[in-house]
């Protein structure tokens, strides 16, 4: 019915134009197909019967019918086109124009040399639909197509676009063309939709097919979904069927064209009595009722007046704006008019088929609303789309509203425009419905794919340590840079605080106080020994070695301060070299003292060959010799891989630790091993001399001091491997202080106790009395 109105409107407009076809009236004859392709073929054959006798290869009189306009189904066009090819007689000079959707089969020139398609190509329709899905963040959708070549091709193209944009198909309903097969599977198709969690369904296929039957069935069963479709389904639900707001959330992709405002006025004022060519209101309404899927209120046409039928059709059948098919009919009529216009200008015999076809092929014009039309099939452009949506009004009244556009000729980020304010959702508010398989992962989480399911179905897993996701729906978490760390929510990286073993820290302050305290204590002991240097207990233990040992211990305590504070290259080099050299001096001094004690008792008898060693002070060379060996190791260390300032961004969460790197760890352990070997030798010698009789024999104290020293550094080697950051520095400082304090306490505290609190024991008379006894 609406197609006939579009044709009448176009022909009236053409016939009123004195510049297009002067002195010529354009008319048409209507053959109703009654929704039956067989009847369509029969009516097509009736066209040929209007010619005079059809004899092959003979020229006969020409009929007034020059162009056949068919559609909207492409199958009807192929059948009529095939008939034209089969009856390719010179006396039958017909051009076939189809106003339905563009179909690649109909563009086969060898099969259909006289067939022209008015519709533009739908090359970018899958991309347009996917762009709309992405705009509303619908990643879980269903698809319903017809089981034909065009449906399968659309499915293939749509799936590629979906895969490229990470959108998944929840289900695919392939509706068979055969009605009997469809009836057997109808329940399965319905269950697939209603049981799916997808709230958005794309529909692509022909009207007046099993797909439309299926769609009307879902309507009656109350299937509430958001439908995304093309203008082929650009119909309004009739008022008698309007029970469940099925069409409220329907998005229609219609070919972009300017609005023909005068068409609405034509529909409202059309008078069918002025058309004598068999176009009556009753004929049109009979076609409508027979093609309708709904039961008519009018059981027989005789019971309905013309005015009643017209009022009913206009109110319930369709809206008053041109859909794609009507617009194609409008342009087809103008294409025919322009073709005849060219013939009139060139005064070409209207019966010349080759020239007629050539003329139609070359027709290019701009229609009255300003849209270009090109009949050259090889120069068909790709369609731009208007996106339409329904608005609902009281008393079940609804209208289509343009809410956006899609143009493939713009840049990717500007192809789609959608006005959210123009959309009316079924919920009655502006909140966009959700259609996803899994809810989007929030910042701080990443997608974890579910085995055996579509890529859009996933779990949300928290980001690993020091990794973040600062956006929704991230597939992978991003590792924070070394100078930053992840917050507790794992959604942003924060700058790390620079830290080191500082004096302001409680740990650094404690170690510094310990170092200064032990340094003061060592200085006090040295002062006591200097003040009482002439007493037997000081003389008996070799004053020179005692002084060297005390000074070495004093600097050992002080060198630990080099490990505290902001590291720099100088302190990094000094703290290691100073530490190993001073400890070598201290341990070698202890070794010299233990050897002195041992030799004092073993080789002091007259005639012993080694007695000269004690008298000449040869044992004092042990200290410089051992120290020079350690300096040699330090030289290798500094020459190959010296210590340097380094940063540790991983040991302590949220902090970058500035510390001194040892450089060559191998050399570092070698110098520690050298000191440990000296300590073990000293421990062995002292252990051998621990039971020698003497009033001031310090072999026992030396043995115990070396035992403490070795225990501290063995423990250090074990603990040092398991600590990180500034705690490694703290462990080393504590080991220096503990081992030095062990030497100070074990060797010198007992002597200071005697000097200060038992002076009677520290006298020459007491020493002589004890020796005589």
Q: Is the peptide bond before 294 cis (omega within 30 degrees of 0)?
A: no
What is the per-residue pLDDT for 294?
40
Give the pLDDT band of residue 393 (cuts 50, 70, 90).
Answer: low
Report d(CA 96, CA 112) in Å as an integer: 9
**Same fold across 2-119+299-310+318-376 and 125-256+383-422:** yes
The whole-chain average pLDDT of the chain stands at 79
DSSP string, 597-641: HHHHHHS-STT-TTHHHHHHTGGGGHHHHHHHHHHHHHHHHHHHS
User: In Å, what is the CA distance from 124 to each residue of 89, 552, 651?
Assistant: 39, 87, 55
Is the Cβ–Cβ distance between 229 and 250 less than 8 Å? yes
Q: Could you tell me which residues come within 8 angstroms of residue 436 by beta carbon, excluding any fewer than 6 positions away?
A: 137, 138, 139, 140, 456
pLDDT of 291 above 80: no
Give the pLDDT band of residue 246 (cuts 50, 70, 90).
Answer: very low
Q: Which CATH superfamily is domain 125-256+383-422 in?
A: Response regulator (3.40.50.2300)
What is the per-residue pLDDT for 614?
52
Report d(CA 466, CA 493) in Å as an integer: 8
Q: Range with the lowest mean pLDDT among 36-50, 384-398, 565-579?
A: 36-50
Predicted confidence (pLDDT) per residue in 407-465, tens digit:
999 988 899 999 877 777 755 566 788 898 888 889 999 998 888 888 888 999 999 98
pLDDT of 711 above 80: yes
pLDDT of 239 above 50: no
What is the per-residue pLDDT for 483?
86
Task: Specify the residue for token string 């051992």.
Answer: 626
What is the per-residue pLDDT for 236?
45
Q: Range with the lowest mean pLDDT among 340-344, 356-360, 684-688?
A: 356-360
Q: What are phi and psi of 485, to 5 degrees?
A: -140, 155
Between residues 606 and 665, the one the model is more confident about: 665
Between residues 752 and 219, the one the model is more confident about: 752
Give the other-Cβ count within 10 Å of 466's Cβ.
19
Tell me what percent of the residues of the chain surpass a pLDDT of 70: 76
The SS3 call for residue 709 is helix
Task: Give me 608's structure tokens.
Answer: 């012993």
Report d(CA 44, CA 87) in Å as an integer: 11
Q: Which CATH number fits domain 506-642+662-772: 1.10.3260.10, 1.20.1070.10, 3.60.70.12, 2.40.160.20?
A: 1.20.1070.10
Task: Work out the angle at residue 701's Cα, subtended by the Cα atoms of residues 700 and 704, and round it to the nearest 5 degrees.
Answer: 90
Q: Is the peptide bond before 609 cis (omega within 30 degrees of 0)?
A: no
pLDDT of 33 above 70: no
Predicted confidence (pLDDT) per residue in 531-575, tens digit:
888 887 787 777 888 899 999 999 999 999 999 989 999 998 898
Cα–Cα nearest to 555, from 518, 530, 524, 588: 518
Q: Which CATH number fits domain 2-119+299-310+318-376: 3.40.50.2300, 3.90.950.10, 3.30.2130.30, 3.90.79.10?
A: 3.40.50.2300
What is the per-residue pLDDT for 592?
85
Is the Cβ–Cβ distance between 151 and 174 less than 8 Å? yes
Report d(CA 250, CA 271) in Å as an integer: 33
What is the per-residue pLDDT for 607?
52
What is the per-residue pLDDT for 61?
42
Is the Cβ–Cβ distance between 387 and 252 less than 8 Å? yes
Task: Give me 766's structure tokens.
Answer: 């007491």
Helices (H) then strands (E): counts for the chain: 23, 22
Task: Work out the angle at residue 343's Cα, subtended by the Cα atoms of residues 341 and 347, and round it to the nearest 5 degrees.
Answer: 125
pLDDT of 148 above 80: yes
Rg (CA), the chain: 51
pLDDT of 18 above 70: yes
Report d(CA 654, CA 660) in Å as an integer: 19
What is the per-residue pLDDT for 444?
93
pLDDT of 38 above 50: no
Q: Could you tell me which residues come within 8 angstroms of residue 305 by beta carbon, excluding any fewer than 6 positions away?
A: none
What is the per-residue pLDDT for 429?
61
Between residues 132 and 595, the one the model is more confident about: 132
DSSP 137: T
Cα–Cα nearest to 537, from 739, 331, 749: 749
What is the per-residue pLDDT for 21?
85
What is the per-residue pLDDT for 300?
44
What is the per-residue pLDDT for 289?
47
What is the per-residue pLDDT for 395?
57
Between residues 473 and 356, the one the model is more confident about: 473
Q: What is the mean pLDDT of residues 69-84?
A: 74
What is the per-residue pLDDT for 772?
46
pLDDT of 12 above 50: yes
Report d(CA 634, CA 624) in Å as an integer: 15
Report d(CA 675, CA 633) in Å as an integer: 11
Report d(CA 267, CA 270) in Å as an integer: 5
Pairing of strands 416-418, 397-406: antiparallel
Give the other-Cβ count within 10 Å of 501's Cβ.
25
pLDDT of 730 above 60: yes
* CA 447 and chain centroid, separation: 9
DSSP string, 46-101: HHHHTSS---TT---PPPS--EEEE-SSHHHHHHHHHHHHHT--TT---EEEE-S-
pLDDT of 357 above 50: no
The SS3 call for residue 664 is coil
Cα–Cα nearest to 706, from 694, 690, 718: 690
Strand partners, 230: 253
Q: What is the mean pLDDT of residues 320-326?
A: 80
Q: What is the mean pLDDT of residues 339-357?
A: 62
222: left (phi over 0), alpha (psi -120 to 50) or beta: left
Q: Where are the domains of the chain?
A: 2-119+299-310+318-376, 125-256+383-422, 445-495, 506-642+662-772
Give the pLDDT band of residue 297 (cuts 50, 70, 90).
Answer: very low
What is the per-residue pLDDT for 609?
54
Q: Range with the lowest mean pLDDT among 147-161, 211-225, 576-590, 609-623?
A: 609-623
Is the Cβ–Cβ distance between 157 and 126 less than 8 Å? yes
Highest-pLDDT range among 193-197, 274-278, 286-290: 193-197
Report d(CA 400, CA 388) in Å as an integer: 6
Is the Cβ–Cβ distance between 118 and 97 less than 8 Å? yes
């Amino acid at each position: 019915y609406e197609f006939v109105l579009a044709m009448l409107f176009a022909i009236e407009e053409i016939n009123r134009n004195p510049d297009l076809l002067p002195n010529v009236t354009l008319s048409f004859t209507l053959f109703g197909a009654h929704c039956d392709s067989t009847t369509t073929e029969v009516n097509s054959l009736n066209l040929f019967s209007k010619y005079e006798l059809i004899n092959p290869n003979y020229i006969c009189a020409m009929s007034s019918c020059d162009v056949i306009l068919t559609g909207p189904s492409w199958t009807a066009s192929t059948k009529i086109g095939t008939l034209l090819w089969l009856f390719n007689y010179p006396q039958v000079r017909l051009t076939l124009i189809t106003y339905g959707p563009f179909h690649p089969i109909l563009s086969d020139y060898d099969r259909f040399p006289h067939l022209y398609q008015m519709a533009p190509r739908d090359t970018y329709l899958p991309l347009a639909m996917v762009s709309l899905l992405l705009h509303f963040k619908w990643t879980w959708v269903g698809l319903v197509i017809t089981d034909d070549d065009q449906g399968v091709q659309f499915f293939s193209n749509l799936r590629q676009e979906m895969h490229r944009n990470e959108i998944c198909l929840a289900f695919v309903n392939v509706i068979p063309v055969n009605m009997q097969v469809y009836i057997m599977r109808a329940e399965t198709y319905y269950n697939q939709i209603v049981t799916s969690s997808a709230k958005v369904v794309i529909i692509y296929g022909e009207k007046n097919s099993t797909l439309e039957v299926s769609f009307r069935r879902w309507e009656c069963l109350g299937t509430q979904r958001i439908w995304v479709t093309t203008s082929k389904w650009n119909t309004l639900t009739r008022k008698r069927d309007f029970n469940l707001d099925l069409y409220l959330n329907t998005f229609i992709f219609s070919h972009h064209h300017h609005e023909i405002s005068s068409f609405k006025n034509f529909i409202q004022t059309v008078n069918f009595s002025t058309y004598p060519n068999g176009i009556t209101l009753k004929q049109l309404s009979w076609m409508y009722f027979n093609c309708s899927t709904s039961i008519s209120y009018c059981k027989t046409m005789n019971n309905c007046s013309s005015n009643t039928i017209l009022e009913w059709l206009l109110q319930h059948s369709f809206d008053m704006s041109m859909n794609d098919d009507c617009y194609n009919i409008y342009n087809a009529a103008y294409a025919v008019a322009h073709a005849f216009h060219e013939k009139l200008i060139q005064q070409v015999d209207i019966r010349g088929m080759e020239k007629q076809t050539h003329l139609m092929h070359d027709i290019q014009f701009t229609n009255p609303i300003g849209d270009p039309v090109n009949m050259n099939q090889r120069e068909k452009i790709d369609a731009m789309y208007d996106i339409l949506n329904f608005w609902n009004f009281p008393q079940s009244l609804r209208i289509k509203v343009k809410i956006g556009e899609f143009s493939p000729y713009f840049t990717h980020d500007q192809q789609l425009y959608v006005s959210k304010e123009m959309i009316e959702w079924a919920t009655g508010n502006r909140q966009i419905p959700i259609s996803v398989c899994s809810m989007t992962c929030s910042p701080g989480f990443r997608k974890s794919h579910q085995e055996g399911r579509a890529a859009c179905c996933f779990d949300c897993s928290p980001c690993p340590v020091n990794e973040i996701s600062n956006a929704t729906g991230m597939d992978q978490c991003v590792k924070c840079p070394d100078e930053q760390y992840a917050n507790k929510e794992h959604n942003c990286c924060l700058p790390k605080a620079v830290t080191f073993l500082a004096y302001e820290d409680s740990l650094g302050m404690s170690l510094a106080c310990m170092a200064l305290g032990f340094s003061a204590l060592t200085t006090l002991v040295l002062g006591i020994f200097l003040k009482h240097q002439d007493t037997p207990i000081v003389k008996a233990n070799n004053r020179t070695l005692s002084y060297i040992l005390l000074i070495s211990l004093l600097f050992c305590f002080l060198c630990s301060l080099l490990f505290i504070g902001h590291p720099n290259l100088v302190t990094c080099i000094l703290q290691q070299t100073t530490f190993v050299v001073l400890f070598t001096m201290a341990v070698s001094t202890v070794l010299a003292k233990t050897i002195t004690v041992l030799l004092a008792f073993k080789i002091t008898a007259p005639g012993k060959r080694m007695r000269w060693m004690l008298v000449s002070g040869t044992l004092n060379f042990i200290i410089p010799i051992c120290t020079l060996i350690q300096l040699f190791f330090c030289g290798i260390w500094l020459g190959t891989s010296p210590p340097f300032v380094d940063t540790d961004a991983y040991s302590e969460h949220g902090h970058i630790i500035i510390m001194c790197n040892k450089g060559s760890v191998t050399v570092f352990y070698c110098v520690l091993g050298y000191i440990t070997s000296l300590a073990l030798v000293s421990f062995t010698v002292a252990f051998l001399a621990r039971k020698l009789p003497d009033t001031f024999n310090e072999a026992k104290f030396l043995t115990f001091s070396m035992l403490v020293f070795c225990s501290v550094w063995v423990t250090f080697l074990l603990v040092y491997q398991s600590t990180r950051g500034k705690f490694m520095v703290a462990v080393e400082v504590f080991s220096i202080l503990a081992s030095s304090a062990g030497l100070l306490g074990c060797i010198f505290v007992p002597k200071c106790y005697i000097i200060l609190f038992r002076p009677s024991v520290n006298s020459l008379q007491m020493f002589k009395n004890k020796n005589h006894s």
